[in-house]
Chain A
């Protein structure tokens, strides 16, 4: 049985977390995810959700409490955004290295300064090296679906890594959408209760988080690196099981028109919808353009991407963030590193857009495609980095 409820992105995530029957929530409210933790505190308070809600004094404490709870065997959730994620930073690495199965919703928001509450992907990218699996929702339905799948992925005994579910601040967190939700009693068919991995047991004491110096640290890191790589097929398996359960299909990469596209645009998050609509209209006129958007950002779907990009002449990689002093913004660097050893690869340029919630409209997408066509004709990229919508 499926019912349809009008919800915004935050409410949809909270609803999924309630249905996932989490044991512990430790979080600190921050715009634009505040509704998630407010909703969850209501669920706990009115008895709809039997969980420990830990109100903490900071995000640093929130994630620390989550690490402890997850290691003890609990199903754990937290949510944050921007500055909150920044305050969690040192615990992000600890959570993944200790192989916790925390699920975090990240209401993507620009990092200060200047202070801003709207969407950039600064926070998601700040966590990109920290050993968390990262999923990106394109709409509210996906935010609901991916939250449920995140628990299934993280807790898979072949994975055991924490997962971040990204949803664009305000564009998704606060937008109302009709969402297909499952009945509570059906959830267990897809997401069985969590089994503790290495639970705290006084009869069989073990040490969590010990010192690991030059004689063991690199082995632990190699193991963690391989664990992240090895999670990929199990993420695909979770997507497949979710499709069987829900009828909704999830893949690491979503494409439109890539079977014959010569010009392609790659993007993360809610902007994918805008880009796809423009590309769809252009394809109706016979233009060989295509879009690529990632549902799975970490582990980065390298092999899939290489397959998808065969035959593409020019690729525009769109970043809703900036990496100061780097040879390109974050997704651009991921893509170029993926393609570096391919014999035939497209010309690639980087589009910086939407920082701090600046709108990206269809005409902007058209101008990116025009630029790509120009480079295709020229046979080279004359300007590697383009800022869209910025006042010159």
Chain B
């Protein structure tokens, strides 16, 4: 989403068109970013089950990836991973 100047904002805090939540990416709330080491991953899918967002993308072969548009960086996936395949890396500011 492109950030606008206060001069361009609609008056009165309104959102002047419907369904804009589809464009709202909550990924920018993140301060730590989960990164998956695919070599360690055993495809147990515990991260996919535990992610509250859900922001774990499950592929057909049960490999997983992070949807960074919506991952808020809560770290649950890294915490539940039995083989420590997910590390939490600080986001660059």
Binding site for B on A (CB under 8 A): 71, 97-100, 160, 197-198, 205-210, 212, 215-216, 219-220, 222-223, 226-227
Contacts and interface: CB of A to CB of B under 8 A. Distances in A.
Contacts of B28: 215
A206 B11 contact: no
A98 B12 contact: yes
B83 interface: no
B14 A208 contact: yes
17 contacts: A97-B13, A98-B13, A98-B14, A198-B11, A206-B15, A207-B14, A207-B15, A207-B18, A208-B12, A210-B13, A210-B14, A215-B3, A215-B28, A219-B5, A219-B6, A223-B6, A227-B11
B contact face: mostly helix, strand, loop, or mixed? loop
Contacts of B15: 206-207, 210
3 A-B pairs with least C-beta separation: A99-B12, A207-B15, A219-B6
Interface in B7-22: 7, 9, 11-18, 20
B59 interface: no
A216 B9 contact: yes
B40 interface: no
Contacts of A220: 6, 9, 13
Nearest to A160: B11
Interface residues of B, number: 16
Contact of B14 (A206, A215, A226, A227): A206
Contacts of A98: 12-14
B69 to A, nearest CB: 14
Contacts of B13: 97-98, 208-210, 212, 220
- In this complex, the member of B6, B9, B12 whose beta carbon has the largest number of chain A beta carbons within 10 angstroms is B12
Contacts of B16: 198, 206
Nearest to A71: B12
A212 B13 CA distance: 8
B7 A198 contact: no
A219 B28 CA distance: 18
Given A215-B3, A215-B28, A223 B11 contact: yes
A105 B82 CA distance: 65
A160 B13 CA distance: 13
